[in-house]
Structure formats: C-alpha cells, structure tokens
Amino acid sequence: MATDYAENAERFLTEETPFHLGFLPTEQSSPLTRTLEQDFKTSTREGVRTLQRVDHNVLQMARKVLASPQFSSLAEAGEKTIRGGGRIIFSGCGATGRLSILLEAMWKSCCRTHGVEALAGSVESIMTGGDFALVKSVESFEDYAVFGARQVAERQVSAADLLVAITEGGETSSVLGTVAEATRRGARAFLLFNNPADLLVQHLERCREAITNPAVTVLDLSCGPMALAGSTRMQATTSEQLIASAALELIFRRLTGDKEPAPDFAEAFARLLYDLESDAALAGIAEFIDFENGIYQAGGRVTYFADDFMLDIFTDTTERSPTFMLPGFRKNDDTVSPVPWAFVRNPLYSTPEAFRRALEREPRCLEWTPADYRAMGAGRRLEEQPPRIGATELLKFPVGNEPLPERSATGGDAAVLVSYGTPDENLKSAFHQASSAFALAVGLEFGLCRGDGCLVPMLPVPTRMRVFEHLGVKLALNTISTGTMVKFGRVSGNWMSHVAVSNKKLIDRAIRLIAELGGVKYPEACRALFRSMAELETLPPGAERPSAVQYTLRKLRNTAD
C-alpha cells in the first residue's frame, strides 16, 4: 500500500497539473462567508443571511451579461436554429448536466402548457454519463473529453444544430469534448462558464482550444467564489440557470409571436433575492434547516415527495452526495450500500412514469459496452468494469409510488411534501397515503400558500417558462441543504470538508482544503490525502466511509500534537 499511495500522489503532483485549479475564483473561498460555520452556531437565521450574501454577486454579473452582445447573439442564434429546423442542445456535467436536463424539461413543459407541442423537440440535453447521472454521480466521467464527443455523436449533432455548453469552472473535459465534436460537425457553439476567460486561456490548454475556436461564442459569467468554497452547484449554477433560461424565454416568445414584453430579467432576479431575504422567508428557511438537521441528528431520514418540481429537487439532493459525502441514492436491488439520508419520490406515479414526467420525455441513458470504452481509449479499469448506467439501471431507483419500507424504518423518519403554491388534491391525497408509515409528515411550501409545514414566501415575476419559480426553489433548496450540513458538522469554516474525492478536480479541491485548514504545503497535503484514501479502501464493502479529508486532517492534528 505504501508504494502505491506514494506513487499515486507523486503522479498527481507531477502529471495532473491541468487539474490543479486553485488559481480559479470558483475554487477559492469567499471572504463574504469566512464566518459561515460560526454564524450557524450563533443562530440558523444568521447563517442563512451569510449564505445569501453571495447571491448578490450573481445579480451584478447578470446586469452586465444580460445587456451584452453575446447574450443577444445567443437568443438570436437559438431562434434562427429552431426556425431552420435545428435543435438547441445543452451540454453539461454534474450540476451543469442536471441543469441542462432541467432546461430541456422546462422548455418541453412550456411548449405543452402553451399548446405548441410541435416546438417541444427543438431543445435537448446532453448530461455527462447520461440521464443516470441525474440520480447518481458517475465517477471520473468528467475527466474524459472523448466521452463528451461520443455523446454528441450519439445525438447526431449536425451543422443545423446549436450547442450551448455549460461548465461552471470552464475547464470540465467532458463538456469541452462536446464543444470540440459539435463544432467539428459544423454546429455553432456557445460556451458558458464562471471564471475569467483570460485566466482560463492563460493556464489551461483545453480551455484555450475551446475559447479561441472561431465557431464558439463565449459568455463569461464570472461572479467570484462560491458561498461554500468550491461548491459550484450554488452561485455558478444559479448564474448559468438564470442566463440560459432567460435566453430560452426570449426564444420561445419570438417563435410564438408573443406580444407581451419580456421582463427585465436582472431586475426580476433582484426582486427574487429581496423576497428570499425577507424576514418571513428567512424564518421559513431557518425553520426547515433546524427540522431536517434534527431528523439527521436523531438518526432518521428524509424523503421528499413532489410532482411538478421533482427535477429541481433531484438536482439539489443528488449533489449532496459528493458535496457532503452522504450516501447516494441506491437501487431497489441494492442491499449493501447505506440507505440514503435524503431521497426523492413522486407519490402519484410508478417509477417509469415518474421519470417520464420529470424529464418530459423517455430517459436517455448510455448503453456503452467494453468494446466502446476500448475504442475510446478509456483505460483498462473502465474497459474491464464498465459502469452500469443504462436505462434498466436508472429505473431501479424507486422514485415512484411503489412501497419502500426502508424509508420509514428507523421510527424517526420524515416525509416532506414539496410544492410551489397550494398542492392539488390528488397530490395531497397521494402524499397522505404515502406518508402514513412515517413518524413525521410536513410540507415545504414555496410561493404564497399557507398549509401545514414551513413556508418560504416569494412572488416571482411571471414568465412563460416559470424561470423565476425554478430559480427561487433552487436558491432555497441550496440554502437549506447547505445550512443543514453546516449545522450537522460537515463544513469547516466555509469549506465542504466532507467532500468526496471521486474525480481529479475533487482530489485537487480536497488537497487545497487540507493545505489551508491543516497548515501544510500542497505537496504534503497531497501525499497525506493519498495515504488516507489507500487506508480507507480497506474498509469492508457497504460500510459508510468517513471523509478522506476529515480523516487526513485528524491525522495531521494528531501528528502536530
């Protein structure tokens, strides 16, 4: 073990420098939230206020970008593409992959609601790892540009199409692979990211190739460090969701000849932030954080039930696993992996129908074989043990109304009905039946309704695609899940110190965290982390693994003592 871990550490230090990303603002800690851990100890409301400060950086960015020629070009190119019979195809990985799926679903739902189903197929998405990754992260796939290229080929992207690639840091290899392949096929591309373009061009060859590609238009959405260091599911993805959904809203209105003026998207976002920072919204968010933290502290679990906003909840809950090293969603034939702390279900429909309703289409998963991985040069590990991420495997996640006794087995578990506005009677009835076995049943309500549970009041500016309803739910859920984990002890300062180390970017992030909090240099932190990772690999299958970062920090402190 000693030789292996030492060799692996040296290899990362010397050969994986393109994944040493500490120079990027999105990977740094925000000065606005340095007191995050202590603020939550003072009071939950104080901690929430601290988290919300950083969202105003998104507003500053939005006012600039929404008025830019690049944004206008995105809306014009999207309209022209669809009028010409082509598709707008969003691509992303991790949080931006889930955002890409959400944008496609928002478009399809809008087309269905407004009676223009003929336009529904004009927007698609490519998620690194396929739709399976919506529910469970597919380890290491983001490190392979060739995987993104393969997914573009499978969607048969052509010169008639428009690719909108979204990568928070601007450097995700799989997403840049979609850009390279789409433009090679003659498609025009837009690239959205959250770090200064000149910084990416200066330091990373893979970024330089994409940004300087004449077929690519760049939208630099830089808005500084995240509220939780490195957690780009927060402000980075918020900014991308705002800009991309605003563009889709304009495209939809132009295609349908809508005469009503579009809103001022930046000012509508400012109004949403104002609503979420009100005393009433703060109270509702803080109340639910304390509630969910109390469930976990007592050894219980939380199951979210929803219908319309199921994808939004998926996006937040799936990200909790790598961000805070919580047990991920598990399949119905898995009796070994730990039961997830949080889960998402639709009480109205079976699992296949629940996925179809959430996605607004049939699932699109990857059915790659060992020969496919061999042809892509993915390496022996993936060739010999290809991940099981096809449609059959996705449908093993019991997200529908089938019986699932494990979710209410501890005697202290909670069922939570998530709704925007007052839930309809069918949903309330189905939730009442599904929650009968749980120790607790509450509501988490967004909007202006008032039922049994926590209310997060907001009155978003209305749009055809419900742009600000979706953003409001996202912002509140990000704050709730982050605040819950801060109170549970999974955040140190404003760093996610229980982060999983499942790809090269996360390994680098973990090393920088250890270096900062452990008071050591980057190389020493790297060697210590790789040693810890090797030691933790000896734990039996199915055991809930401790954070390699926390494990390493404890060893460093013990050595110092």
How do residues 297-337 score in pLDDT, each as one tens digit? 999 999 999 999 999 998 899 888 888 888 889 999 999 88
pLDDT of residue 322: 80
Q: Is the pLDDT of residue 131 over 50?
A: yes
**Who's near 558: CB < 8 A, 6+ residues apart?**
none
Average pLDDT over residues 123-128: 98
Q: Is the pLDDT of residue 386 over 50?
A: yes
> What span, in angstroms and rounded, lies between the C-alpha atoms of 57 and 223?
5
pLDDT of residue 1: 43
Q: Is the pLDDT of residue 37 over 90?
A: yes
Burial readout 444-461 (b: 16 or more C-beta within 10 A, e: otherwise): bbbbeeeeebbbbbbebb
- Which of 110-124, 215-229, 443-457 shows the lowest mean pLDDT across its residues? 443-457
> What span, in angstroms and rounded, lies between the C-alpha atoms of 153 and 189?
15
Q: Is the pLDDT of residue 2 over 50?
A: no
Q: Which pTM was predicted?
A: 0.92
CB contact at 8 A, 488 and 482:
no
Confidence band of 451 (pLDDT split at 50, 70, 90) = low
Percent of the chain past pLDDT 70, that is, above it, reads 98
Q: Is the pLDDT of residue 502 over 80?
A: no
Q: What are the backbone dihedrals phi and psi of residue 269, each rounded to the nearest 5 degrees, phi first?
A: -70, -40
Average pLDDT, the chain: 93
pLDDT of residue 116: 98
Confidence band of 358 (pLDDT split at 50, 70, 90) = very high
The full set of domains in the chain, from first to last, is: 2-29+495-560 (no CATH), 55-270 (3.40.50.10490), 280-365+396-487 (3.40.50.10490)
